[in-house]
Amino acid sequence: MKLAKPLFVAAIVVSLLSSCAVAVIGAIAAGTAIVATDRRTTGAQIDDQAIELRLSNELGTAFKANPSDFHISINSFERKVLLTGEVPTEQAKAQAGEIAARSQNVRTVVNELAVAKPSTLGQRTNDGTIGTKVRAQFVNTKEIPFNSISIVTERGIVYLMGFVTAKEGEVAAYVASRVAGVQQVVKVFDFGAPEEVQRRRLGAGQPPAPATNAAPAAGAPPASSSAPDASSAAVASPVAAPGTAK
């Protein structure tokens, strides 16, 4: 019985990859491997992987006419989908968001696609390095539940996904903003009160309510604050200069 879910995921991978002839998706589900300390249930993690694979196939089919103009990364956390990367037009950006919103089992979409030429291999390599540095800083910061936060990096912009308290999210955004090379930090968190987060740690929590799309706000160093409701909009925390926080 323990092998049923992993085998189910493997079946999805084989099915979707074999049906997707055109690769327009740059990176899929960074940081979504199933781990014991993730605050999501195993079932929620599998659902997220299935969403990423399914949406990769759907977007690949939609944009197969000119795939070289597209670089789209798909990340899902408890059925909240984050789209990052580059597309050629505002129309393509809107279309990608609509496809994601209609995709099976998706509860909400945060569309952070940029209308620009696809990033270069060098830029993507640099983004990978930045993401690794941010992860290392999270591991070394005891206030951050690093295995419960997904880190996505595009063009020097770091996106943070996960279910956290307001304090955890604040600290994580601040620590990420201090890493060399980071141009901006965007919080795509779902927030919960400390008691709810504790229930998640014990495996008794429920998925948070749907959240809205990204809205910009100024970043700040860690400070005490009361926890907001269980869901929150994605918040961008601009950085004044690479590696520094405003």
d(CA 67, CA 59): 10
Residue 197: what pLDDT? Answer: 87
User: Cβ neighbours of residue 2 under 8 Å, at least 6 residues apart?
Assistant: none
- For residue 37, what pLDDT band results from cuts at 50, 70 and 90? low
- Note the pLDDT of residue 204: 45
Tell me the pLDDT tens digit for each residue of 74-100: 999 999 999 999 999 999 999 999 999
What stretches of the chain show up as alpha helix (H) in DSSP?
4-19, 42-62, 90-102, 121-139, 166-177, 194-201
Measured between alpha carbons, how far is 137 from 176 in angstroms, rounded to an integer? 8
Single out the residue of 11, 31, 59 nearest to residue 139, CA to CA: 31
Res 200: pLDDT: 80
Is the pLDDT at 177 greater than 50? The verdict is yes
Average pLDDT over residues 49-69: 95
Domain boundaries, the chain: 4-115, 121-238
Decide: pTM greater than 0.85: no
Residue 210 has pLDDT above 80, yes or no: no
User: How would you label 217-239 residue by residue, b for 16+ Cβ within 10 Å and e otherwise?
Assistant: eebeeeeeeebeebbbbbbbbbb
Task: Tell me which residue has tokens 């998925």.
Answer: 207
